[in-house]
């Protein structure tokens, strides 16, 4: 079947572009002699995670316990949850997963450690934890050195918790004004992460893993300083409009949303059948990832979604209006692909415009 015959809205993936992106990042990691642990929250598809694994990834990253469970059911055996886990129900699920796979997860507070210690009492394997270091994103993670030392002492006193390493995410690099500003933020983040790794080593708790994240620095081929053992990019597999703006081309965008023109009520307004429930209403408004509109029309130059309702995309463009008819189908390159994938039950893998595989999005809606 040609993709144009699909019902809409539909999530499309260009196989050749996706594979090129996968090989690019694996080769980048290999060249820098670090492990690649892709963040699968981007695609949420065990089928694609297995390909990443087969190409040489050291394991995968997820954001939630539910995603870890979906990936484990899909055959993935080494999973890191790059998030703090709070709540005995979630920790019991992790303990269950640890019986059959290698699983680790994040902490940044002694409260979490106490819960983990209690839940893993009597388990065959100790809980494997990594401490998150806040490096400027202003999200979760350790900020003060004294808090880090206190947390490590707390872990050291535990019988059921084992420190595997530290991790960080330089998400604020998305807001860098240009490539050099991105490089500066990235290097500052890595230096800070390595600094905390040194503190842990001085305390007799040398990190097996020092893991860093975020796609832009790696797509820009920045060097990886010595001491880093692992990188966790996610968006690179598909790219999107914001990431395309970083590297200056849409040619690496593998994913799009197919949508049908359903109305042309004025001489410039065009309506399609996908809205916020299919492409989200996300934008990036600052720095080199800044996007125009709510998504770019792939087949047309400089045509963007101007607004969305739940089930409608609104475009104001007279030239576009005159070139398309009701019933025509176009592709939207989303501003941020990660939440978009979470909205679809399946994706269609394309090669030369033909559907070659339907891939279930098994990790969709796994928010717990």
Residue-wise pLDDT tens digits, 10-43: 999 999 999 999 999 999 999 999 999 999 999 9
Q: What is the pLDDT of residue 9?
A: 98
Structural domains in the chain plus CATH codes: 3-10+242-360 (2.40.37.20), 32-238 (3.20.20.10)
Residuewise pLDDT in 10s, the chain (368 residues): 999 999 999 999 999 999 999 999 999 999 999 999 999 999 999 999 999 999 999 999 999 999 999 999 999 999 999 999 999 999 999 999 999 999 999 999 999 999 999 999 999 999 999 999 999 999 999 999 999 999 999 999 999 999 999 999 999 999 999 999 999 999 999 999 999 999 999 999 999 999 999 999 999 999 999 999 999 999 999 999 999 999 999 999 999 999 999 999 999 999 999 999 999 999 999 999 999 999 999 999 999 999 999 999 999 999 999 999 999 999 999 999 999 999 999 999 999 999 999 999 999 999 99
DSSP alpha helices (H): ranges in the chain?
15-31, 46-54, 65-73, 88-97, 110-119, 145-156, 179-202, 216-219, 241-247, 276-279, 318-323, 337-341
Does pTM top 0.85 for this prediction? yes
DSSP state of 178: S
* Surface-to-core class of residue 307, CB atoms within 10 Å of its CB (0-12 exposed, 13-18 middle, 19+ buried): middle
Q: Tell me whether residue 33 is exposed, middle or buried, using C-beta atoms within 10 angstroms of its C-beta: 0 to 12, 13 to 18, 19 or more.
A: exposed
The span from the CA of 136 to the CA of 169, in Å, is 9
> Residue 106 half-sphere exposure, CB side, CA atoms within 13 Å?
23
Q: Closest Cα partner for 116 from 64, 154, 71, 165?
A: 154
Q: Are 184 and 288 in contact (CB under 8 A)?
A: no
Q: Find out whether 334 and 18 touch, Cβ atoms under 8 Å.
A: no
Cβ(238)–Cβ(253) under 8 Å?
Answer: yes
């Amino acid at each position: 079947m040609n993709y144009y015959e699909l019902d809409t809205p539909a999530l499309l993936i260009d196989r050749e572009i996706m594979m090129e992106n996968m090989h690019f990042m694996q080769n980048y990691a290999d060249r820098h002699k670090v492990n690649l642990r892709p963040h699968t929250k981007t695609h949420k598809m065990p089928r694609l995670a297995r390909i990443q694994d087969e190409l040489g990834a050291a394991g995968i990253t997820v954001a939630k316990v539910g995603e870890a469970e979906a990936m484990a059911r899909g055959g993935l055996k080494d999973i890191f949850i790059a998030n703090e886990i709070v709540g005995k129900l979630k920790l019991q699920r992790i303990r269950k997963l640890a019986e059959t796979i290698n699983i680790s997860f994040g902490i940044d507070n002694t409260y979490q450690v106490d819960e983990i210690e209690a839940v893993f009492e009597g388990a065959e394997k100790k809980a494997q934890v990594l401490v998150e270091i806040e490096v400027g994103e202003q999200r979760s993670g350790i900020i003060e050195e004294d808090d880090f030392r206190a947390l490590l002492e707390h872990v050291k006193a535990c019988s059921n918790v084992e420190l595997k390493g530290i991790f960080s995410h330089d998400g604020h690099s998305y807001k860098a004004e240009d490539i050099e500003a991105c490089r500066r933020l990235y290097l500052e983040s890595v230096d800070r992460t390595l600094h905390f790794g040194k503190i842990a080593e001085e305390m007799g708790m040398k990190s097996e893993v020092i893991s860093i994240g975020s796609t832009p620095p790696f797509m820009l081929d920045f060097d990886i300083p010595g001491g880093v053992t692992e990188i966790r990019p996610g968006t690179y597999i598909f790219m999107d409009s914001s990431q395309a703006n970083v590297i200056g081309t849409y040619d690496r965008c593998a994913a799009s949303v197919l949508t049908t023109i359903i109305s042309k009520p004025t001489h410039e307004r065009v309506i399609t059948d996908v809205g916020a429930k299919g492409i989200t209403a996300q934008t990036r408004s600052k720095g080199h990832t800044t996007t125009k509109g709510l998504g770019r029309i792939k087949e047309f130059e400089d045509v963007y979604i101007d607004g969305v309702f739940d089930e409608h995309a609104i475009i104001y463009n007279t030239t576009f209006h005159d070139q398309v008819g009701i019933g025509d189908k176009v592709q939207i390159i989303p501003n941020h692909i990660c939440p978009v994938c979470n909205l679809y039950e399946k994706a269609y893998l394309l090669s030369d415009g033909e559907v070659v595989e339907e891939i279930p999005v098994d990790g969709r809606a796994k928010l717990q």
